[in-house]
Amino acid sequence: MTLSDESAITKWLVRADADGPTADTLGARFASSQTAPAGALVLGVRPGEWIIVGAAGEVAAATADLDGLDSGEFTSALDWTHGRAMYRVTGHEATRMLEKVCGIDWSDHMTPDGAVLSASVALVTCDIARNDVSHDETASTPSYLILCDRSFGQYLFDALIDAGNEFGLTVPAGGVS
């Protein structure tokens, strides 16, 4: 099982009408995620609120169409890259580790691959997306993206390490960015 700091990955927050053209353009509905055609991951974190994560070009492509919408709908898009920390926990013991710091039911039927939710993780308000790592068409490894305000980043990273130690957690060199 691994814990990696992915805070440097581009992150944008988009807010708009939950049932308007922006929602149709982004595709991911509340509590779900979807990969955009350019490769960015769109997380439907709340009704009318999305977080888009990926390489800078992928996120730019995913948000480019928002300027061209002629709907009269108010839409805001904000670069959140430096304001939010993001960690990835990957491994078959990830759910057991997360159970130690979060009161969510992590079973596959409650939080399947693609699920998005908000919860307290080690007493920090977080947005969490299950984003399994595929090995081929038949096998994947459970993986979770955990986003929080950057000011809580080091605390949350340390709490996740503490929760994962008994499960053989490894942390790639580099620590928190």
CA distance 159 to 100: 10
CATH architecture of the domain 9-79 equals 2-Layer Sandwich (3.30)
Please give the torsion angle defined by the CA atoms of residues 57, 127, 32 and 4, in that order, rounded to the nearest 10 degrees: 60
User: The domain 83-167 belongs to what CATH superfamily?
Assistant: Probable tRNA modification gtpase trme; domain 1 (3.30.1360.120)
Q: Which pair of structure tokens corresponds to residue 144? A: 């979770």
pTM of the entire structure? 0.93
pLDDT in tens, 15-64: 998 888 888 889 899 999 999 999 999 999 999 999 999 999 999 999 88
Query: In which order are the strands placed within the sheet that holds 2-5?
Result: 2-5, 84-90, 143-149, 124-130, 116-121
d(CA 159, CA 156): 5
Q: What is the pLDDT of residues 99-141, one digit of tens each?
A: 999 999 999 999 999 999 999 999 999 999 999 998 787 889 9
Q: Compute the distance between CA of residue 82 and CA of residue 168 in angstroms, rounded to an integer.
A: 30
83-167 has the same fold as 9-79: no
- Residue extents of the structural domains in the chain: 9-79, 83-167
Helix (H) or strand (E) holding 133: strand 133-134
Query: How many CB atoms sit inside 10 A of residue 1's CB?
Result: 18
Q: In whole angstroms, what is the distance from residue 4 CA to residue 136 CA?
A: 22
- Residue 54 token pair: 């990926």
